[in-house]
Chain A
Amino acid sequence: MPSTRPPVDYIERTRAQYDALGYPPYQWVHSATPPPWAELTKPLAECRVGLIGSGGIYQVGQVAFHYKDDFSFRIVDTRAPTSQLRATHFAYDLTDARSDPNVVFPVDTLNDLVAEGFIGELAERAYAFMGGIYSSRKVRDTLAPALAERVIRDEVDVVLLVPV
């Protein structure tokens, strides 16, 4: 049977879960202003692609994320074997990400797309953080600008954002 049901509404389910647990409602970020827009100025096949993921990925040798509003990030070498990638996060089932980190941090996938010429190249550095950060202020004012500065410095044409 093909999918006939609508997407899972996680805002509604979180509201129901928090209510059942006796917690006050979770305050989701609602962006009031329209998003900014930048045209792609060249074909994807000529683009350098950046990757930022919030699935709690780190490389062996790096310090892992902790679970209490950790808003640090890790610089991940996209040339290194993905067998050196690890996953840590408190709010999703890590089983598949630990078996194959590409499900939340598609380094091999993007390298495959480079090999077949679908994209021009993958930036040498990708960026990973652990998205369970309850302070939207820290994300908006500190983490997001720091990541934006990094990918600008890397001279990427587009960035693929992979939240969990």
Chain B
Amino acid sequence: MTSALSITRAANPPRAAYLDFPLGHTAGKPHQRELNRSIVGDGLRAFETLRAPGDVVMLPYEWADDDAWKDTVMRPRASASLERDSAGRSSQQRDDRVERHAVPQYQTDADRTAADAALAAGGCATCVWLDGRPNETT
């Protein structure tokens, strides 16, 4: 499955199914079980129908009634009255992704507590680190 066609074509997997949805929805829409079953089913069918390495099937689903969302995704924000720094960057154009700390980023504090309890009880048997740490404590 992919929602980023140019990136997938560059990486060139054996088979792909393209879904024209905003990033973060590669397998469908929240709480739309029937729609998602249809999308993922169509994606899986590519295993049977695609015949040539690198083929991509274009799935026929649309995110919204119009394509307005495509105008705004990953666009540097612009404004009529921009203050620019010496490098010509505007104050409106900034990296809005979160800062990247090398500590676990939990969705909730309760998740952190649960993980800490598991670690204290012997480790996370289903976390595979690949960085030299022992992988599974079982």
* A interface residues, Cβ below 8 angstroms from B: 1-5, 7-14, 16-17, 20-22, 28-31, 34-38, 40, 43-44, 47, 49, 55, 58-68, 70-77, 86-88, 90-100, 102-106, 108-110, 112-113, 116, 118-119, 132, 142-143, 146, 158, 160-164
Contact = CB atoms under 8 A, between A and B. Distances in A.
Given A20-B89, A86-B108, A64 B26 contact: no
A113 B53 contact: no
A8 B25 CA distance: 14
B76 interface: yes
A104 B39 CA distance: 12
A31 B11 contact: yes
Given A10-B6, A87-B107, A109 B67 contact: no
A106 B44 contact: no
B44 A113 contact: yes
Nearest to A96: B30
Contacts of B20: 3, 7
Contacts, number: 240
Contacts of A11: 6-7, 10
A158 B100 CA distance: 34
Contacts of B5: 7, 9
Interface in B53-72: 53-54, 62, 65-67, 70
B112 to A, nearest CB: 8
Interface string B1-27: 110111100111110001010111111
Interface residues of B, number: 77
A159 to B, nearest CB: 10
A66 B107 contact: no
Given A12-B6, A37-B53, A103-B26, A72 B105 contact: no
Nearest to B88: A22
Given A29-B10, A86-B106, 14 more contacts: A1-B65, A13-B75, A28-B10, A29-B11, A30-B11, A34-B12, A62-B115, A71-B130, A92-B24, A109-B40, A112-B37, A113-B40, A113-B41, A162-B27
B24 A90 contact: no
Q: Which of A29, A67, A74: most chain B Cβ within 10 A?
A: A67
Q: Which of B30, B62, B101, B103: most chain A Cβ within 10 A?
A: B30
11 contacts: A20-B76, A29-B10, A30-B12, A61-B114, A62-B118, A63-B119, A93-B24, A96-B25, A109-B40, A146-B128, A161-B13
B6 to A, nearest CB: 5
Contact of B14 (A38, A104, A142): A38
Contacts of A13: 73-75
Contacts of B22: 93
